């Protein structure tokens, strides 16, 4: 899912050949992520089979080299991108959620609100789970520190999302 979103989002800016997509994707994804040629071209192949992108041959700038493919997003691909970004299941996966959040402008207010609510609900369930976990008698001082850190992260994200939600509501009212 993440690879498809990254490729489709990059193609929204205009057609690109595979090397340019790879170069742009490597700048955008986590440095620890291996967005390599194999992963890129298998993603492009899936997207072509799904009619989300089309490829057209273009002469290579290198004399004597074979043509290269230039990829274009299709209307179906643009719809698929919106659907992938707005997927409520993204709320339970940190990486997918923040990728969706980075592309919030392509989904409507209703989908934005739903995704934020789903994330907040998931965070509150996680918060409750951590409250229960911390009560286990077999916890060590170190495991308690880990749980306390996770609780801080969750409460910070909840506060941040609440502010973000208020900001989205204000923008929608303008």
The owner of tokens 């489709």 is 8
In whole angstroms, give the CA distance from residue 149 to residue 144: 9
User: Token pair of 87, please?
Assistant: 């997927």
64-116 per-position pLDDT tens digit: 888 889 999 999 999 999 999 999 999 999 989 999 999 999 998 889 989 99
Specify the pTM.
0.84
The owner of tokens 């700048």 is 27
CA distances to 7, 12, 39, 122, 123 from 158, in Å:
30, 31, 34, 10, 7
Q: Which of 3.40.50.970, 1.10.150.390, 1.10.10.10, 1.10.1380.10 is the CATH number of 2-86?
A: 1.10.10.10
Q: In the structure, what pLDDT confidence band is assigned to residue 174 with cuts at 50, 70 and 90?
A: very low
142-167 per-position pLDDT tens digit: 888 899 999 999 999 999 998 887 77
123-146 per-position pLDDT tens digit: 999 999 998 887 777 778 888 889
55 φ, ψ (degrees, to nearest 5) = -115, 140
Across the range 27-38, mean pLDDT stands at 72
User: How many C-beta neighbours within 10 Å does residue 18 have?
Assistant: 17
5-27 per-position pLDDT tens digit: 999 999 999 999 988 998 888 88
């Amino acid at each position: 899912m993440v690879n498809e979103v990254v490729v489709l989002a990059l193609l929204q800016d205009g057609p690109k050949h595979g090397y340019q997509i790879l170069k742009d994707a490597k700048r955008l994804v986590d440095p620890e992520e291996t967005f390599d040629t194999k992963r890129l071209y298998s993603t492009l192949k899936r997207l072509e089979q799904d009619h989300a992108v089309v490829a057209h041959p273009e002469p290579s700038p290198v004399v004597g080299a074979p043509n290269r493919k230039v990829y274009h997003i299709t209307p179906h691909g643009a719809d698929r991108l919106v659907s992938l970004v707005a997927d409520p299941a993204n709320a339970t996966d940190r990486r997918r959620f923040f990728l969706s959040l980075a592309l919030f402008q392509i989904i409507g207010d209703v989908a934005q609100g739903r995704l934020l609510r789903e994330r907040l609900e998931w965070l509150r369930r996680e918060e409750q789970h951590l409250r229960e976990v911390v009560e286990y008698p077999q916890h060590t001082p170190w495991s308690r520190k880990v749980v306390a850190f996770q609780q801080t992260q969750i409460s910070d994200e909840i506060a941040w999302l609440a502010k973000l939600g208020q900001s989205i509501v204000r923008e929608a009212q303008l």
